[in-house]
Structure 1
Amino acid sequence: MIDPDKREQAALRAALRNMAELMAEIGWTTRFADLSEEQALALATAAVDGFQEAMQTSAPRPDPEVPF
């Protein structure tokens, strides 16, 4: 992602919060190289899910009063 806009930046922060919650469970002193495959996949999933959910939540909604 090059030059994320404000909405994307907010979504990235949401992704980081998801990852931080998981890292609190794993242990902050754990090096990435020492993660199990399951833990690494869980971190990736937390990041992607957090970003997608935040983008969906912040998406502009069409005005139901405006005809197509």
Structure 2
Amino acid sequence: MIDPDEREQAALRAALKNMAELMAEIGWTTRFADLAEAQALALTTAAVDGFQEAMMASAPRPDPEVPF
């Protein structure tokens, strides 16, 4: 992602929050290279899910008063 806008930056922060919660369980001193495959996949999933959820939550909603 090049030059993320404000909404994308907020979604990235949400992704970091998800990842931080998982890192608290794994252990902050664990190097990425030392993660088990399942842990690395869980971190990736936390990041992607957090980003997508935040982007969906902040998406503009169509005005119900405006016909298609």
* TM-score, normalised relative to structure 2: 0.99
Structure 1, unaligned stretches of length 5 or more? none
Q: Which residue of 1 aligns with 2:35?
A: 35
Identity %: 90
Shift, 1:25, TM fit: 0.1
Structure 2, unaligned stretches of length 5 or more? none
Shift, 1:26, TM fit: 0.1
Q: Which residue of 2 aligns with 1:20?
A: 20
Amino acid in the other structure paired with 1:48: V
C-alpha RMSD over aligned residues: 0.3
> For the residues of structure 1 that align with 2:67 and 2:23, how far apart are their CA atoms?
47
Q: Which residue of 1 aligns with 2:60?
A: 60
* TM-score, normalised relative to structure 1: 0.99
> For the residues of structure 1 that align with 2:9 and 2:40, how far apart are their CA atoms?
23
Secondary structure at the aligned position of 1:21 is classed as helix
Q: Which residue of 2 aligns with 1:11?
A: 11
Amino acid in the other structure paired with 1:30: T
Q: Which residue of 2 aligns with 1:46?
A: 46
Amino acid in the other structure paired with 1:12: L
